[in-house]
């Protein structure tokens, strides 16, 4: 793969520079995956749902707006607490306008599942990045349940979805490991009589299952002889409004965590981070690499394991990351690549095919960005090998973020540890998932310059 050329710098450009020790306590925003689901389940529950710690990024605001458009009463109080008066299962109303979901693939795929078994028609679109992402992986099983879709070529947005008033329960085996596809089918199953079953060959994020139980649904998980799991949901339950305390997002925490590990002399505390076993692949990998990460005050919030992290600067060594770990850290490979570039020896990351269909082609971005910063990177199919420099990479690159917030944050962290500054062309997409990221990092001592800083 060729290295990227320097891209023109617009008003959202940011520059990460070599930083002194990072110290302090980080209030990481609420978990994005849980925030989306809390709004959706609250919107179809009976009674009031109260949400503390909801992520207030653009992606989640798009979900809130979509639920309002379909009849739920969704409001944020002056105290930062969100309250939802739900419609009840099967009672969504037809939106009067197009549902524009911005950059959020999670909002889109899960909402398609929700709409699929309500007898309404909705038109769905998103930004340029989202309109390139594949939707057939969810529209195919939802069509089997009875929904009807009209899409652009390749199953892409914009699309029209008409939900069915006579949904059929299905048993669906996931062709790829995807929590979004699993959740879309389960959401459709909520308003489907009988039992809807999803079979996943390898475990993926189980936030939907945990939250369905929290709201009162009947759901069973069975281990199958071939090692797969069958998740069976009994349809048409009466979901009841609940209190949801959203833990800090481990995917957002990944960026300051890696920065604290890599910048010499750093020690940073992260209170209340979500520690769902299917989300902590990055933490497990960093610990294997030699990172000093301690977990204290373990507890549970709405069924989700939570704890406080204490992260100190460490010298890392290369490891092999098995493909089986990909579902537990699919959003963290970009920032892991930055850590690998600073480690001693080779880090092999296997089974990264899913990175090609995220907000951008993150596999290509990972390879091109690290190479531009002076790292040695090779690709073999869906496996990536990074040979670390046991210290500070060269840096000095200009990175095109392609509207992808995780590319932006990852290479700002690279700039904080590299010998020469690293520039990103547009930091504005960061607010889709991590509002206040720049101010938070600068408060810890990071050197990040630019109009948004």
Q: Which CATH number goes with the domain that contains 407?
A: 3.65.10.10
Q: Please indicate, yes or no, whether residues 233 and 254 belong to a single structural domain of this protein.
A: no
Query: pLDDT tens digits, residue range 60-101?
Result: 999 999 999 999 999 999 999 999 999 999 999 999 999 999
- Does any domain span residue 8? no
Q: Examine the domain organization and report whether 162 and 282 are in the same domain.
A: no
Same domain, 292 and 236: no
- For 7-29, what is the mean pLDDT? 85
Residues 331 and 211 both lie in one domain: no
Domain boundary residue, one of 198, 214, 245: 245
Q: Is there a single domain that holds both residue 223 and residue 275?
A: no
| Least confident window among 70-84, 246-260, 310-324, 360-374 | 360-374
Residues 234, 287 within the same domain: no
Number of domains in the chain: 2
Do 282 and 305 lie in one domain? The reply is yes
pLDDT of residue 12: 85
Is pLDDT larger for residue 435 or for residue 100?
100
What are the angstrom distances between the C-alpha of 172 and each of 145, 230, 260, 290?
A: 10, 9, 42, 40
79 annotated active-site: no
Last residue of some domain: 223, 245, 267? 245
Of the residues 208, 227, 245, the one at which a domain ends: 245
Residue 203 CB partners (closer than 8 Å, separation 6+) = 229, 278, 327, 328
Per-range mean pLDDT, top range of 56-60, 327-331, 333-337, 359-363: 333-337
Assigned token pair, 196? 């809807």
Residue 7 lies in a domain: no
Do 100 and 233 sit in the same domain of this protein? Answer: yes
Q: Domain check: are 351 and 228 in the same one?
A: no
Rounded CA-CA distance 227/84 in Å is 39
Q: Would residue 9 count as lying in a domain?
A: no
Mean pLDDT of 162-191: 96
Statement to judge: residues 100 and 49 lie in one domain: yes
| Residues 254 and 234 grouped into a single domain | no
Of 331, 404, 425, 426, which residue is the catalytic one? 331
Specify the DSSP class assigned to residue 280: -
Q: Can you tell me the mean pLDDT for 297-324?
A: 94
- Report the pLDDT value the prediction gives residue 148, as an integer from 0 to 100: 98
Q: 253 and 224 in one domain?
A: no
Q: Which domain holds residue 421?
A: 14-29+247-449
């Amino acid at each position: 793969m060729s290295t990227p050329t320097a891209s023109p710098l617009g008003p959202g450009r940011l520059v990460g520079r070599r930083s002194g020790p990072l110290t302090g306590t980080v209030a990481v925003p609420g978990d994005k995956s849980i925030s989306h689901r809390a709004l959706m389940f609250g919107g179809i529950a009976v009674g009031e749902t109260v949400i503390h710690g909801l992520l207030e990024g653009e992606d989640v605001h798009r979900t809130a707006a979509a639920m309002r458009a379909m009849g739920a009463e969704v409001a944020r109080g002056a105290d930062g607490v969100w309250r939802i008066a739900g419609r009840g299962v099967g009672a969504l109303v037809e939106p009067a306008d197009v549902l524009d979901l911005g950059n959020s693939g999670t909002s889109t795929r899960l909402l398609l599942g929700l709409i699929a078994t309500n007898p309404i028609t909705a038109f769905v679109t998103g930004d340029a990045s989202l309109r390139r992402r594949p939707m057939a992986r969810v529209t195919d099983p939802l069509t089997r349940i009875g929904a009807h879709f009209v899409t652009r070529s390749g199953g892409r947005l914009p699309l029209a979805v008409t939900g069915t008033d006579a949904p059929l329960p299905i048993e669906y085996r996931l062709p790829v490991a995807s929590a979004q596809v699993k959740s879309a089918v389960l959401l459709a199953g909520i308003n489907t009589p009988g039992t809807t079953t999803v079979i996943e060959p390898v475990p993926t994020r189980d936030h939907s299952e945990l939250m369905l139980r929290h709201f009162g649904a009947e759901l069973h998980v069975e281990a199958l002889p071939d090692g797969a799991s069958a998740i069976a949901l009994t349809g048409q339950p009466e979901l009841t409004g609940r209190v949801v305390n959203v833990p800090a997002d481990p995917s957002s925490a990944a960026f300051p965590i890696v920065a604290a590990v890599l910048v010499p002399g750093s020690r940073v505390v992260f209170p209340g981070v979500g520690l769902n076993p299917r989300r902590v692949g990055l933490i497990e990998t960093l610990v294997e690499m030699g990172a000093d990460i301690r977990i204290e005050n373990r507890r549970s919030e709405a069924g989700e394991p939570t704890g406080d992290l204490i992260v100190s600067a460490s010298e890392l060594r290369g490891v092999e990351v098995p493909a089986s770990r990909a579902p537990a850290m699919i959003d963290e490979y970009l920032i892991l690549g930055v850590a690998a570039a600073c480690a001693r020896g080779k880090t092999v990351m296997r089974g990264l095919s899913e990175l090609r269909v995220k907000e951008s082609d993150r596999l290509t971005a990972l390879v091109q960005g690290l190479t531009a910063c002076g790292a040695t990177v090779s690709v073999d199919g869906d496996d990536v090998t990074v040979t670390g420099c046991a210290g500070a990479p060269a840096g000095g690159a200009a990175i095109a973020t392609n509207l992808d917030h995780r590319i932006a944050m990852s290479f700002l962290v690279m700039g904080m540890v590299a010998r020469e500054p690293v520039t990103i062309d547009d930091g504005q997409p960061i607010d889709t998932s991590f509002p206040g990221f720049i101010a938070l990092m600068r408060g810890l001592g990071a050197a990040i310059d630019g109009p948004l800083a």
